[in-house]
Structure 1
Amino acid sequence: MAIAKRLYVPGTFIGFRRSKHHQKMHTQLLNIEGVLNMEDAKCYLGKRVAIVYRNKETDATVVWGKITRTHGNSGVVRAKFDKNLCPRFMGCPVRVMLYPNRD
């Protein structure tokens, strides 16, 4: 019996980092499935993130990013992508890759 190995953990793009009056479009907030506190989120620092979406020209397009740090105490993380994400991606699923390892 073959054991299936997971390559990614699902997550959700929940919005942009913001202050009271301004929104910072260059930093996105991600909610990773199964992460409920800051200590659990720290193991995902430095991991690659992918948003896979479909458009009319190509079958699938991937936007890559990287998790930079935690955000608050509830397990939300900050990520920076190669291109700033469009606001229509809010609520879309993301894939948090389990590589590269920092060990």
Structure 2
Amino acid sequence: MGAVTACHCSQCRKTSGHYAASFAAEEQDLHWHARRLAEHVAPGGGRRGFCPDCATSLFFRAADGSFGVEAGCIETPTGGRLAAHIFVADKGDYYPLDDGLPQHEGDS
């Protein structure tokens, strides 16, 4: 899968209970094992995809069309590595970011 980005925006923190970690992906290349998918329209026009049966967070489709798969929903080894932190200006005050990875106040 490749690089994983950790998003610390308040929306991701509220949705996941911490920060959200995701892979950039091509939506047409994915195969979902969920029997059905549901989407929630997020503030700003993005869409959060999830399984309506178990509530697993699956993806985020931004209003601009960019798409990311939640790293935690992948069942097989991904080979991915955390590569950067975004929206660190909104991060929770209960954890440090001291891993030496690039940090961005906004989305990039």
More strand by share: 1
Structure showing greater relative contact order (alpha-carbon pairs closer than 8 Å, 6 or more residues apart): 1
> TM-score under structure 1 normalisation?
0.29
